[in-house]
Amino acid sequence: MTANKPTIEEVLAPKPEVRPRIYAYAIGDAAHAGLLKVGQTTRNVKRRVAEQLKTAAITNYRIELDDPAERDDGTPITDHEVRAALRKKGFANPQLEWMRCSVADVRTVLTELRTGKPLTGTHHETFPMRREQAEAVEKTDAYFRSIWQEDSDAVPRFLWNAKMRFGKTFTAYQLARRLGARRVLVVTFKPAVEDAWQTDLESHVDFDGWQYHSRATGADPTAADPARPLVYFGSFQDLLGRDAAGNIKAKNEWLHAINWDLVVFDEYHFGAWRETAKELFEGEDDAVAKKEAKVEYAPELDVVNEDLGTLSANETEFLPITTRAYLYLSGTPFRALATGEFIEEQIFNWTYTDEQRAKETFAAGHPGERNPYGALPQLRLLTYQMPGELLAIASAGEFDEFDLNAFFEASGTGANAQFKHKSDVQKWLDILRGAYMPTAVEYLKTSTRPPFPYSDVRLLPYLQHSFWFMPNVAACHAMANLLAERHNTFWHDYEVVVAAGASAGIGLHALPPVRKAIGGGFDSKTITLSCGKLTTGVTVPQWSSILMLRNLKSPETYFQAAFRVQSPWSIKNPNGDDPNEEEILKPVCFVFDFAPTRALRQLSEYGIGLSPNEPNPENAVRDLVSFLPVLAYDGANMTQIDAGGILDIAMAGTSATLLARKWESALLVNVDNDTLRRVLNDPEATAAVERIEGWRSLGDNIIETIINKSEKVKELKGKGKDRDLTPKEKKELSDEEKEYKSKRKQIQEKLIKFATRIPAFMYLTDFRENTLQDVITKLEPNLFLTVTGLTVQDFHLLVRLKVFNTEQMNQAVFAFRRYEDASLRYTGIESHHGLTHYGLYDTVVARD
Task: Determine, yes or no, domain membership for 323.
Answer: yes
Cβ pair 374, 582 in contact under 8 A: yes
Domain contains 89: yes
Contact 510, 451 (CB under 8 A): no
Domain membership of residue 285 (yes or no) is yes
State the Cα–Cα distance between residues 232 and 255, nearest whole angstrom: 9
Continuous H helices in 89-181: 103-115, 131-150, 168-179
Question: What residues make up the domain containing 170?
Answer: 131-350
Which of 611, 635, 653 delimits the end of a domain? 653
In this structure, the answer to whether residues 396 and 434 fall within a common structural domain is: yes
Residue 74: which region, alpha, beta or left (left: phi > 0; alpha: psi -120 to 50)? Answer: left
- pLDDT of 721 reads 53
pLDDT digits (tens, 9 = 90+) for 597-651: 888 888 888 887 777 666 677 788 888 888 888 888 877 677 888 777 777 666 5
For 493-532, b where at least 16 C-beta lie within 10 A, e where not — what string? ebbbbbbbbeebbebeebbebbeebbeebeebbbbbbbbb
Which residues are CB-neighbours of 297 under 8 A, at least 6 positions away? 189, 190, 237, 270, 273, 277
Domain CATH for 139 = 3.40.50.300
Band of residue 6 on the pLDDT scale cut at 50, 70, 90: low
Beta pairing partners, 318:
none
252 vs 325, which has greater pLDDT?
Answer: 325
Phi and psi at residue 497, to the nearest 5°: -110, 120
What pLDDT does residue 832 have?
Answer: 40
Separation of CA 430 from chain center: 34
Helix spans in 611-671 (H)? 617-625, 643-650, 656-663
**Same domain for 163 and 99:** no
Band of pLDDT at residue 525, cut at 50, 70 and 90: very high
Same domain, 317 and 432: no
Q: Where a domain ends, among 115, 147, 165?
A: 115
Last residue of a domain, one of 350, 379, 399: 350
Chain mean pLDDT for the chain: 78
Residue 141, in any domain of the structure: yes
Contact by Cβ (8 Å): 40, 22: yes
Q: Does residue 721 lie within any of the structural domains? A: no
Q: Let me know whether 285 and 411 are in one domain.
A: no
Q: Are residues 371 and 509 in the same domain?
A: yes
Express each pLDDT in 328-385 by its tens digit.
Answer: 988 766 666 666 678 888 999 898 889 999 999 999 999 888 898 998 999 999 998 8
Whole-number pLDDT of residue 607: 84
Judgement on whether residues 330 and 374 belong to the same structural domain of the protein:
no
pLDDT in tens, 688-732: 888 888 887 888 888 888 888 787 777 766 665 555 667 777 777
Q: Is the pLDDT of residue 489 over 90?
A: yes
Residues 193, 303, single domain; the answer is yes
Q: Based on the domain organization, do 477 and 609 belong to the same domain?
A: yes
201 domain-assigned: yes
In percent, the amount of the chain with pLDDT more than 90 equals: 26
Are 345 and 358 within one domain? no
Please check whether residues 476 and 515 belong to one and the same domain.
Answer: yes
Other residues' Cβ atoms within 10 Å of the Cβ of residue 466: 23
Q: Is 390 a residue whose pLDDT tops 80?
A: yes
What band does 846 get if pLDDT is binned at 50, 70 and 90? very low
- Name the domain count of the chain: 4
CA dihedral 465→466→467→469, nearest 10 degrees, is -160
| 343 plus 370 within the same structural domain | no
Whether 235 is covered by a domain: the verdict is yes
Q: 776 lies in a domain?
A: yes
Q: What is the pLDDT of residue 83?
A: 92
Question: Are 74 and 218 contained in the same domain?
Answer: no
Q: HSE, CB side, 13 Å, CA atoms: give it for residue 336.
A: 27
